[in-house]
Amino acid sequence: MSISDNLKAFKMELDPIWVKLIAVSKTKPAEKIREAYDTGHRAFGENIVQEMVEKQAGLPADIEWHMIGHLQTNKVKYIAPFIHMVHSVDSLKLLKEIDKQALKNKRVIDCLFQVHIADEDTKFGFYFDELVEVLRSEEFSLMKNIRITGLMGIATNTDNQNHVREDFYELATLFKGIKQSFFRKSPHFKELSMGMTQDYKLAIEQGSTMVRIGSAIFGGR
Ligand SMILES: *Cc1c(COP(=O)(O)O)cnc(C)c1O
């Protein structure tokens, strides 16, 4: 199937249930993004700053760029002028830098806290108590140029469906708790970015509001 057919199928599946599709275009050339853009799609995800910056420069300005990979503090300045959302905030230091660069660009940047839910040690993200510590910190309360719009997580890479389901359930439960405790009055804290090509159905079943789909749209990498 073509990129256009793939996108059409996802939209038919996701639009009626209000789940947003992030088309993950990492490693794919700009022409492929253009092809998706021409079908009307606007939200794209990348995980490497340089790659995103190069693609952004040559593509229409109304594309929403989503950073979904680990972001180094010293690279925030390159994406701060245009980034739509950072899904992968995994430290207070990074959040402070996003706040600082957003101010420089006279913007407020939407951010998700990445939470560690998978079994593997290698995945980035906050553990629950670290996240609570950040949320309670004075430094966090002083940041005016970031807006926390929810949480993001990556499930364990396993064929065991129950295990993946439990990972997503854990994140969804955490989301509700954090919302109750820290964002009760913030209508913007509403996004749960979870689910990729292999596991997005389970993620949606557990309450995902944004799925990040790469290979099922653009083909394997
Ligand atoms: C690559 C990537 C995706 C998309 O993965 P697919 O399996 O190709 O759908 C989603 N989220 C993150 C964080 C990624 O790095």
Give the number of domains in the chain: 1
The residue written with tokens 């926390």 in the block is 148
**Mean per-residue pLDDT over the chain, rounded:** 97
Strand 210-213 versus strand 43-46 pairing type: unpaired
Closest atom, ligand 1, to C-alpha of 221: 8
105 membership: H or E segment, kind and range: none
> 190-209 pLDDT, tens per residue?
999 999 999 999 999 999 99
Q: Which domain holds residue 82?
A: 3-218
Is residue 88 within 8 A of residue 109, CB to CB? The reply is no
Two tokens at 119?
């079994």
For residue 46, which of 212, 220, 160 has the smallest C-alpha distance? 212
User: Of 123 and 203, which is predicted with more confidence?
Assistant: 203
**DSSP percent split of the chain into helix, strand, coil, nearest 5:** 45, 20, 35
pLDDT score at 118: 86
Give percent of the chain with pLDDT exceeding 90.
96
Two tokens at 18?
């209000």
CA-proximal residue: ligand 1, atom 7 (nearest): 197
Query: Is the CB of 73 inside a 6 Å radius of any atom of ligand 1?
Result: no
pTM of whole model > 0.95? yes
Closest atom, ligand 1, to C-alpha of 68: 13
pLDDT score at 121: 65
CATH number of the structural domain spanning residue 206: 3.20.20.10
